[in-house]
Amino acid sequence: MRVNHSPEEVKAMVTRAFGEFCGSETPLESLEETIRVERGMSVARCYRAAGLMAMWLIPAGIVQFYDGEGRMLRTIRLWQERSPCYQAA
C-alpha cells in the first residue's frame, strides 16, 4: 500500500530540512511556494527560502533539495511500501 503525504506535511518537512542545511529553522511564512499544474493536476511543488530550493515531484513521490548553486543536497522518497495488515477474526 502506498502512503501519500499532504502538502502541509511536505512543507513542514521542507522547512525542517532547510533548517538543517542553513543551521536555523526556516519560518513557514518566509517559504515561497510555486505549484506546477499540467492537465488540471498538480504535478510539482517548488519551495524556496534562505537561498535553498526544494522540489516535490508529486507523481514520482520524491522531494529533492538543492543549494543556491543548483547542487543536489538530498533526495527523500515519500512513498513507503507497506504490507497489508491482517487481523484475526
Q: Enter the C-alpha cell of residue 62.
A: 520524491
Count of beta carbons in the 10 Å neighbourhood of residue 67: 13
Dump pLDDT digits (tens) for 6-17.
999 999 999 999
Measure the CA–CA gap between 74 and 19, rounded to whole angstroms. Answer: 13
Which has the higher per-residue pLDDT, 22 or 71?
71
Q: Measured between alpha carbons, how far is 46 from 80 in angstroms, rounded to an integer? A: 22
Amino acid at position 54, single letter? A
- Convert the pLDDT of each residue in 38-58 to its tens digit: 999 999 999 999 899 999 999
DSSP letter string, 2-54: B----HHHHHHHHHHHHHHHHSSPPPGGG-EEEEEEETTEEEEEEEEETTEEE
